[in-house]
Structure 1
C-alpha cells in the first residue's frame, strides 16, 4: 500500500492572512515530496474559504514547480462545472507544466451549496450523468480530432491543445461510493477514489467489497487502482487526540451545511450547523471520531491501516485539510514518514519475496 496526502488552501477565519495560508500550504506539499509520498491531491471548490481551490490545475502546477518527484492529482474536478474542450486542454497543459506528473481525478460533485451557484441549482446527485458523458469526450479530444453531439455537450470537430505529455493520457481516477459508479469506472478502466467519510471502520470493508465486485464483474479489464481517503492526524502520545477530534467535528458540521444546504455562509465562511440538524449524529461522538478516522499514535495508526490494506486499498490518502494547525500537519507527516511508512514498505517487500518464491 502506497501513501498520499489531500491538501488545499484553507481559512476558517477572516483574521487569517492569505499570505500565511499560501506559505503554509506550499510547506506541507514540499514536506510530502521529500518524505516519499506517492501523490498530493487537491480539490475543486468555489466561494468557500475553508476549501480555497477554484482550479486544481493551478494548484498542481504551482506545487509542481516546487517539488521534485511527487505525483500531482486533482481530487477532484467537478464534472458539471466544465466543458470537454476546456477540461481536456487545461488538464493536458498541467501535465506538461508538471513534467508529466498529473493524476486526473474527476467526480460528480458534492456540495449542493456550490451546485446552486455553479450549476444552475441542479441537484448534485445528477452530476454523475455529466461525468459519464464528459470524461469519454475528454479522452477522445486527447486522442485527436473529435466532434461531439450528446445530451449535455455539443461541439463540432475539435481537439485538445495541447495533448497530454504522458502517453495515451494521464492516469484517470473516478470518485465513487455507490455501486453503479464503481461498476461504470471499472468497466471503463478508470482507477477509483473513495472515502468512508466519518463512518465506522466497517464502511472500509463495504467500499472494498464494492471494488471487488466491480473488478470481478469485469474480468477482462486490467485491474485498476483503489485509493481511499480519511482525515488524519498522528501524534506522539495517546492522550493528544482531543484537539484533532474537536476540529474534525466542527469541520463535519460545516460539511453538512454545504452538502445539504441547511445553513448560512457569510462572506465565504460556512457556519457549523447545530448538532440536532446533522445526519448520522452518532458519528460525531468524540470517541467515535477518534476511533473511525486515522487519528492516533504511530502504532495505533498502523493497526488502523491494516483494515484498509485488507480491503484491497492500493493507496491510502491522509486528509490534512480540516483546520489542523500547521505544527500538527508537520508532526503528522514527520511521524508518518519515520514510523508508519517503513512498516508498510517492509510488508510490501515481504509480499514480493513470497510471490517470487511461489513462482520459482
Structure 2
C-alpha cells in the first residue's frame, strides 16, 4: 500500500493572511515530497475560504516548481463546471508544466452551495450525467481531432492543444461511492478515488466490495488502482486525541452547511450549522470520530491502516484539510514518515521476497 496526502489552501478566519495560507501549503507539500509520499492531491472548489482552489491546475503547476518526485493530482475536478475542450487543454498543459507528474481526478461535484453559484442551481446529484459525457470526450480530444454532438456540449472538429506529455494520457481517477459510478469508471479504464467519510470501519470493506465487483465485471480492462481517503491526525500520546476530534467535528458541521445548503456563508466563510441539523449524528460523537477516522498514535494508526490494506486499498490518502493547526499537520506528516511508512515498506519487501520465491 502506498501513501498520498490531500492538501489545499484553507482559511477559517478573515484575520489569517493569504500569504501565511499559501506558505503553509508549500511547506507541507515539500515535506510530503521529501518524505516519500506517492501523490499530493488537491481539490477544486469555488467561493469558499475553507478550500481555496478555483483552479487546481494552477496550484499543482506552482507546487511542481518546488517539489521533485511527488505525483500531483486533482481530487477532484468538478465535471459540470468545465467544457471538454478547455479541460482537455488545461490538463494537458499542466501535465507538461509538471514534467509528466499529473494525476487526473474528476467527479460529479458535492457541495450544493457551489452548484447554486457555478451550475445554475442544478441539484448536485445530476453532476454524474455531465461526468459521463465529459470524460469520454476529453479522452478523444487527447487523441486527436474529434467532433462532439452530446446532450450538454456540442462542438465541431477540434483537438486538445497541447496533447498530454504522458501517453496516451495522464492516469485518470474518478471519485465514486455508489456501485453504478464504480462500474462506469472502471469500464472507462479509470482508477477509483473513494472515502468512507466518517462512517465506521465496516464501510471500508463495503467500498472495497464495490470496487472488486466492478473490476471482476470488466476483465477487458487492466486492473485499475483504488485510493481511499480519511481525515488523518497522528500524535505522540493517546490522550492528545481531543484536539483532532474537535476540529473534525467543527469542520464537519461547516461541511454540512455547504453539502445540504442549510447555513449561512459570509464573505466566503461558512458557519458551522447546529448539531441538531447534521445528518448521521453518531458520526459527530467524539468517541465515534476518534475510532472511525485515522486519528491516533503511530501504533494506533498502523493498526487502523492494516484494515485498509486487507481491503485491497492501493493508496491510502491522509486528509489533512479540516482546519487542523499547522503545527499538528506538520507533526502528522513527520510521524507518518518516520514511524508509519517504514512499517508498510518492510511489509512490501517481505511480500516481494515471498513472490520471488514462488517464481523461483
User: What residue is the counterpart of 1:167 in the other structure?
Assistant: 167
Query: 1:41-120 alignment to 2 at 5 Å?
Result: 41-120=41-120
User: What residue is the counterpart of 2:339 in the other structure?
Assistant: 339
SS of residue paired to 2:66? coil
Query: 1:251-290 alignment to 2 at 5 Å?
Result: 251-290=251-290
1:282-308 deviation per Cα after TM superposition (whole angstroms, max 9, x unaligned): 010001101100000000000000010
SS of residue paired to 2:16? coil
SS of residue paired to 1:295? strand
Pairwise CA distance, 1:217: 1.0
What TM-score, normalized to structure 1?
0.99
Pairwise CA distance, 1:68: 0.4
CA distance in 2, matches of 1:237, 1:210: 36
CA distance in 2, matches of 1:359, 1:132: 41
The yes-or-no answer on 1:328 pairing with 2:313 is no
The yes-or-no answer on 1:28 pairing with 2:20 is no
User: What residue is the counterpart of 1:189 in the other structure?
Assistant: 189
CA distance in 1, matches of 2:77, 2:221: 25
Root-mean-square deviation (CA, aligned residues, Å) is 0.6
1:110-157 deviation per Cα after TM superposition (whole angstroms, max 9, x unaligned): 000000000000000000010010001001111101000000110000
User: What residue is the counterpart of 1:354 in the other structure?
Assistant: 354
User: What residue is the counterpart of 1:200 in the other structure?
Assistant: 200
Pairwise CA distance, 1:220: 2.3
CA distance in 1, matches of 2:349, 2:120: 51
CA distance in 1, matches of 2:294, 2:157: 48
1:166-224 deviation per Cα after TM superposition (whole angstroms, max 9, x unaligned): 11000000000000000001111100000000111110010001011111111221110
SS of residue paired to 2:138? helix
CA distance in 1, matches of 2:220, 2:350: 29
Pairwise CA distance, 1:358: 1.6
CA distance in 2, matches of 1:342, 1:90: 37
1:60-109 deviation per Cα after TM superposition (whole angstroms, max 9, x unaligned): 00100100000000000000000000000000000000000000000000
What TM-score, normalized to structure 2?
0.99
Pairwise CA distance, 1:354: 1.1
CA distance in 2, matches of 1:330, 1:204: 26
CA distance in 2, matches of 1:188, 1:266: 40
SS of residue paired to 2:8? coil
CA distance in 2, matches of 1:94, 1:354: 40
CA distance in 2, matches of 1:176, 1:272: 26
CA distance in 1, matches of 2:180, 2:220: 18
SS of residue paired to 2:200? coil
CA distance in 2, matches of 1:63, 1:12: 22
CA distance in 1, matches of 2:121, 2:160: 29
Pairwise CA distance, 1:357: 1.4
User: What residue is the counterpart of 2:244 in the other structure?
Assistant: 244
| Unpaired segments ≥5 residues, structure 1 | none
Paired residue total: 360
CA distance in 2, matches of 1:182, 1:352: 29
1:9-38 deviation per Cα after TM superposition (whole angstroms, max 9, x unaligned): 000011111110011110000000000000
1:254-309 deviation per Cα after TM superposition (whole angstroms, max 9, x unaligned): 11110011111000000100011100000100011011000000000000000101
| Unpaired segments ≥5 residues, structure 2 | none
User: What residue is the counterpart of 1:121 in the other structure?
Assistant: 121
SS of residue paired to 1:48? coil
Pairwise CA distance, 1:329: 0.8
